Each structure stands twice: as structure tokens, then as C-alpha cells.
Amino acid sequence: MPDRRMTSTRPAPIAELTLRGVLLGGLITLLFTAANVYLGLKVGLTFATSIPAAVISMAVLRLFKGATILENNIVQTVASAAGTLAAIIFVLPGLVMIGWWQGFPYVQTAMITATGGILGVMFSVPLRRALVVDTDLPYPEGVAAAEVLQIGAGSREGAAEARTGLFVLIWNSIASAGFAIFTQTKIITDTAATTFRVGAGATGIAGSLSFVLLGVGHLVGISVGAAMGLGLVIGWFVLVPLLTAAHPIPGDMAAWVNTIWKGDVRFFGAGLIGISAIWTLVKIAGPVIGGVRSALAASAARGKGETLALEEQDLPIAWVAGVALLTLLPIAWLLWDVIAGGALVGSAALLIAGALVFVLVAGLMIAAVCGYMAGLIGASNSPVSGIGILAVIGSSLMLVGLFGQHPGADTTRALIAYALIVTGIVFGVATISNDNLQDLKTGQLVGATPWKQQVALVIGVVFGSLIIPPVLNVLNSGMGFVGVPGAGPNALAAPQAGLISALAKGVLSGDANWRMLGYGALAGVVLIALDEALGRLKLLRLPPLGVALGIYLPMSVILPTVLGSVIGWFYDRWARTTANPEVAERMGTLTATGLIVGESLWGVLFALIVWASGSDAPLALIGKGHETAALIGGTVLFLGIAAVLYRRTITVSR
């Protein structure tokens, strides 16, 4: 796809950061955040909101005179906060689970969410040049959102290619959404999975029948797909069989395999993520420093009254530093609120100072790593829960250094709460930086003004922070969380929050799974050396973070993503043989984008249906007992639809 980046100011102003765009984005943010909070607590997953927001924005703003592609981009930028900021639910319910909070106090919950999110925006500003402008990272969702916006604008203007592209986009979106709806009837399944014996151990195969993952795989490309495939092989066909053989567990085989994967293999993946993240920081340190210097130079030029090229128009670096430092004030108050009147009050000054330094240093590092991961595989599939694991381990180790292990029951409980508050703030940094750079890639491709997008995302953070506390309180009062005394039969699982709070307790008590974390770090060193060797030989690269994702994320997510990368590779090879390869490749990108758009829009609606009905399967037409037929039928239908969709794209691209 051609680079649509602009390198000079526009000859005339175009409507971009408008009041109606901000209000529409805010409304979408409120709705999508509420849906994401419920879905995340129920099943441990959230959906990306940038593309659905872009589609809704185009539909609504078409009704108004003077709507522009840049205004639509601002709407999706504001609303994108909903898909990522809601991930704070992977930490905060832990405070209820350990009994520190009885509910979710509005001010504290909103401030944890807002301060982390605002820091995420600020930290990602100097990263934009290194990770968006001067990079070849694929940014699958950012590219997809840009294609949606450009096709929508082009179709209004009557361009022939845009009309064909719009047809491809709509056709694939309908097919993707239709299949996702059909899976919810339970006539066909949405996941193909089985477990089986391997000698004395066991393992399994699982694949989500998800067109959104197929589309993401197409967009990330064969290098990332191959790396994730290698991670899948290491995790499921080396580690799981070996560890299950070494730790036999009586009972159901699937439960045995999943217990080993969650308790050991995933920590191996987290260790690999950690060492890969450090290597990523080393690799991008030069470009990041260059980006900061460029930002300082741009601020100096602005101060002299010079007109900056569009791509240089970030928020002024002095503002970025000032806002980041001012944000530390409410963070300090939040930390004091945990300490005041409790077992930790005697060490308040040291604890608060240490935590603020940790938030700044770890937050900036995590912003860089999450931005890189979002560029590599997309914001939806980026393992921010893995970053949460590393953050809670880091914050807990800081507390162990100050208090030692086993400091007493009351002190330990307060330390766990303190670690979770710090992790929650850092988690906000991770999720928003993960999302912000994806949005800025979209903006780069459609010719948006960077600082206006950065302001829009801050606005989105504020909107999201206002709605998260009441939604959490409603769900806590009406359903509760698994493991909390008094939780009812419909209690929400909140799996990541349970894991992260258990990790904080494990580190503070000395029971964390250091063995697997260490093995993962050692494996990371080997994989980094392998990737560098492949680069020198000019062979297919295997990014270590891609391998780490293949180990850490569920196989059901990885397998269709890898399949999509292979399909995309074959499609692009065909496209390069056509008379107009650029157009043919763009139609392939639109095919993948449509697969993402359709299921994403349905995900929004389904989350609302689940919330309104209170049922996990509100559209089910048949009960249990037909799993085999549903699996076979779903797999055949999924592969058949994929073949038809790509064949149709090839036909219109000739």
C-alpha cells in the first residue's frame, strides 16, 4: 500500500478536531467501554474498538455537512480508548478479591484509570517517530482503520477503485459478521479443540474459527506469522508434553493440559516476553533518543515561529514533560490513600517515592515495548496481560526489597494492595501506549495532525475513566467475582485479575514461579541470537517477541493468526504477478480489513446482548450433545467461506 504520509502543511485547513467529532467519539467510548468491561470480566477478552468506531462515525457524520476523513479519524481515535482502557479490569478486581476494597470507590478507580492512561499518551508522543514514522512495523489494525476511512471517503467522491474496494470491504464484513452470529447459535462451534496423549504426557490442538484473527494474520505478514508459529510449536509440542509427563494430574485430560499451560508454560512465555522486551528496548533506544531530539528541535522551531511539516506537529515536548510530572501528584495521593492509617504508614515517604520512580521508569519502558508489540501484531492481540504480569512482579519485588518476605499478615495484605495499585497505573500506561501508536499509524496514512490525535486520545481516556467505576460497581453488586465470599452463581471469573493478585501474593511470600520465568528468559537469549543470525544471512526473520506471543497467547488465538499470515503470503505472491500489483495487494488488504470489521462490529453488539440478557449464550438454539457435529460443520464452513471470499477478491482484482 502506498505511503500517504504528508510532509508539509496543508494549503487550506480541513475540519479535524471538531466538537461534534469529540462528542460522537465520547458517546461511542462510553458505550464500548461498558460493553468491554462486562465482556472482559466474563470471559477474559476485550474487543478492539477503533474500526467499529470508524464505521459508526462515517455512518453518522455522513448526515452532516462538511464531514471529513480527518474528523472521522478523530472519532475513532477518541473511541479507541474504550477497547484498551477497559483492560484495567485485568488488575483492579484483584483489590476486591483480596478484601482490600468492598466495591470500587469512584474517585480512586477513575484516577487510577485516568492517570495511567494520560501517562500512556504522554510517553508515546516521543515514540511516534521511532515506532510509526521511521519503521516498517505492519500495524495491522492501524492500516485496516486507515483503509476503512479512505474507502469511505473515496466512495463518497465517486472513485472507481474506491467503489470496488468498498464492495470488497462490505462483502467480507457481512460474511465475517454472519459467521460469528451463526456460531452463537451453537449449531456450529466457534472453537475447534481437542487434547491427546503424547507418551507419558499430553497436549492439544485448538483453533478459534475467527475471521478477525485470520484478517490480522494476513496483515501482520509471514515473518511475524512464522515467529508465532514457532512459539506455538515450542509451547504446545515441546513444553506441554514434557511438563505434563513430569507432573501427572488425575482427572480430565483437557483440565490437566490447561493447568500445566497456565501454571508453567505461560510463565515461560512471560519470561521470554521480558527478555525480548529488554532486547527491543536496546534496539529502539537509538531511534527513541532521536525522536526525543527531533521533538526538542521541533519545539525550538515552533518557538521561533517556524512552520512545521505536518509529521513534526506532535504535542510540544515541554507540555508532554509537564503533564507527565503533574500527573504524578494525583498518583502520589492514590498511593497515600492506600498507606494512610495502616501497617505501611511508617514507610510512607520511601514507598511513595519508590513507586513514583517505578511508574516513570517502568512506564516509559513499557510504553515503548507495548507500542512495538502493537506495531508487530496489533493492539487486540498484544499480550498486555503479560506486561501486567511483569509489572506486578516488578512492583512486588520493589516492596520485597523494602520489607522482605513474610512481613506479617496485615503488612502483607497492605503490600499486595499497594502493588496492585501501582500495577494498575502502569497497566494503564501499557494499554494506552499499545493503542495510541496504532491510532497514530492510522493518522499518518490519512494525513492527520499528530497533536490533534494525541489530544483526542487524552479526551478518550477521560471519557473511559468516568464510565468504568459505575460499570464495575454494578457488576460487582449484581454478580460479584469468583472466589470472593458471597459471590453468587453468576459470579464473573475475572481470570487475569485473579492471576495478577495471586502473583503479587506469590512474590511477597516467595512462592512465585521463578523457575519457568528464568527458563523463558534463557530461551529468549537463544531466540534473539537466532533472529540476528537470520538477519545477517538475509533470511526470513523470526522476531523474538513474535515467538513469545506464540507461547504466551492461547493456541486458539495463535493458530488462525498463523493461518492468515500464510494465506496473505500466498495472496501477495499472486498479486505481484498481476498487471496492477499495487491495486491487487490493496484489495487483499481490504479483504483482511473486512474480516476484522465485520466480526468487530458484531463483537460490540454481542457484548451488549450478553450484558442485557445476563446469559453466556443468549442466541443458542441447541443445547449440549452436538459438539462433534458442530465442530465438523463449523470447521468446514469456516474454511469454505474463507476460500470463497479470497476467490472473489482475486476475481475483482484481475
Query: At 349, is the pLDDT very low, low, confident or very high (cuts 50, 70, 90)?
Result: confident
Q: What are phi and psi of 196, to 5 degrees?
A: -155, 160
- Collapsed DSSP state (helix, strand, coil) of residue 201: strand
Contact (Cβ atoms closer than 8 angstroms) between residue 415 and residue 508: yes
Identity at 377, one-letter amino acid code: I
Q: How far apart are CA 329 and CA 614, in angstroms?
A: 40
Q: CB under 8 Å, gap of 24 or more: what pairs does 614-621 form?
A: 614/490, 616/42, 617/184, 617/186, 618/184, 619/181, 619/184, 619/185, 620/184, 620/185, 620/186, 621/185, 621/186, 621/187
Distance CA 461, CA 85 (A): 7
| Integer angstrom CA distances of residue 446 from 123, 145, 315, 602 | 23, 10, 19, 26
Predicted local distance difference test score (pLDDT) of residue 287: 64
Q: CB of 506 within 8 A of CB of 416?
A: no
| pLDDT category of residue 8 using cuts at 50, 70 and 90 | very low
Per-residue model confidence as pLDDT tens digits over 270-290? 788 778 877 877 776 666 666
User: Other C-beta atoms within 10 Å of 518: how many?
Assistant: 13
Q: What are phi and psi of 198, to 5 degrees?
A: -135, 95
According to DSSP, residue 207 is labeled E
CA distance 128 to 139: 13
Q: Which tens digit of pLDDT belongs to each residue from 597-613?
A: 787 677 767 766 776 77
Q: Which residues contact 190 (CB under 8 A, 6 or more apart)?
A: 180, 183, 184, 208, 209, 210, 634
Which letter does DSSP use for residue 308 in this model?
P
> Which residues does 53 contact at the CB level (< 8 Å), separation at least 6?
25, 28, 32, 75, 76, 78, 79, 80, 82
pLDDT for position 244: 93
The number of beta carbons lying within 10 Å of the beta carbon of residue 105 is 14
Model pTM score:
0.71
Q: Is residue 320 part of a domain?
A: yes
| Long-range contacts formed by 475-482: CB under 8 A, 24+ apart | 475/37, 475/38, 475/41, 476/93, 476/96, 476/103, 476/104, 477/103, 481/41, 481/93, 481/96, 481/97
Q: How far apart are CA 495 and CA 323, in angstroms?
A: 33
pLDDT of residue 645: 93
Q: What is the pLDDT of residue 215?
A: 85
Taking residues 171-187, what's their average pLDDT?
89
543 and 429 Cβ atoms separated by less than 8 Å: no
Q: Which residue has the higher pLDDT, 595 or 605?
A: 595
Query: In the chain, what's the furthest Cα-to-Cα distance?
Result: 74
Instruction: State the average pLDDT over residues 92-120.
Output: 85
pLDDT at position 406, please? 63
Contact (Cβ atoms closer than 8 angstroms) between residue 560 and residue 217: yes
- The pLDDT of residue 1 is 39
Poorest-confidence range of 14-28, 286-300, 437-451, 548-562?
286-300
Residue 636 included in any domain = no
- Any domain includes 163: no
Please state the domain count of the chain: 1
User: Is 479's pLDDT higher than 80?
Assistant: no
CA pair distance 110, 462, nearest whole angstrom: 9
Which of 14-18, 153-157, 457-461, 586-590 bottoms out in mean pLDDT, i.e. has the lowest? 153-157
Are the C-beta atoms of residues 221 and 585 closer than 8 Å to each other? no
Burial class (CB in 10 A: 0-12, 13-18, 19+), 446: buried
At 304, the amino acid letter reads K
Query: How far is the CA of 356 from the CAs of 93, 104, 329, 398, 519, in angstroms?
Result: 22, 23, 9, 12, 30
Instruction: Give the pLDDT of residue 501.
Output: 74
Which of these ranges, 3-12, 26-35, 379-388, has the smallest mean pLDDT? 3-12
According to the model, what pLDDT value does residue 11 have? Answer: 45
Find the domain containing 88 and state its range: 19-125+314-511
Strands 201-208 and 191-198: antiparallel
Task: Specify which residues 192 forms β-bridges with.
Answer: 207
Is residue 7 over pLDDT 50? no
What 8-state DSSP symbol labels residue 62?
Answer: T
High-pLDDT (> 70) share of the chain, %: 80
3-state secondary structure of 316: coil
Residue 3: per-residue pLDDT: 42
Is residue 244 in some structural domain? no
Mean pLDDT of the 476-505 span: 67
Average pLDDT, integer, range 431-435:
76
Residue 573: inside a domain, yes or no? no
- The per-residue pLDDT of the chain, averaged, comes to 79
In a domain, 133, yes or no: no
Per-residue pLDDT band for 50 (boundaries 50, 70, 90) equals confident
Angle, CA of 132, 386 and 415, to the nearest 5°: 120
Q: Decide if pLDDT at 370 tops 50.
A: yes
d(CA 25, CA 409): 46
Among left, alpha and beta (phi > 0; psi -120 to 50; other), residue 121 is alpha
Q: Which amino acid is at 100?
A: W
Pick the more confident residue, 407 or 54. Answer: 54
3-state secondary structure 63-114: CCCCCCHHHHHHHHHHHHHHHHHHHHHHCCHHHHHCCCCCCCCHHHHHHHHH
Indicate whether 496 belongs to any domain: yes
Kindly report, residue by residue over 134-166, the tens digit of the pLDDT.
677 778 778 877 877 877 666 555 456 657 777
Is residue 99 domain-resident? yes
Lowest mean pLDDT among 192-201, 507-516, 524-533: 507-516
Residue 10 — very low, low, confident or very high, per pLDDT cuts 50/70/90?
very low
Q: Is the pLDDT of residue 171 over 60?
A: yes
Specify the range with the lowest mean pLDDT, choosing from 326-335, 381-390, 396-405. Answer: 381-390
Q: What is the CA radius of gyration of the chain?
A: 24
What integer is the mean pLDDT of 625-634?
Answer: 82
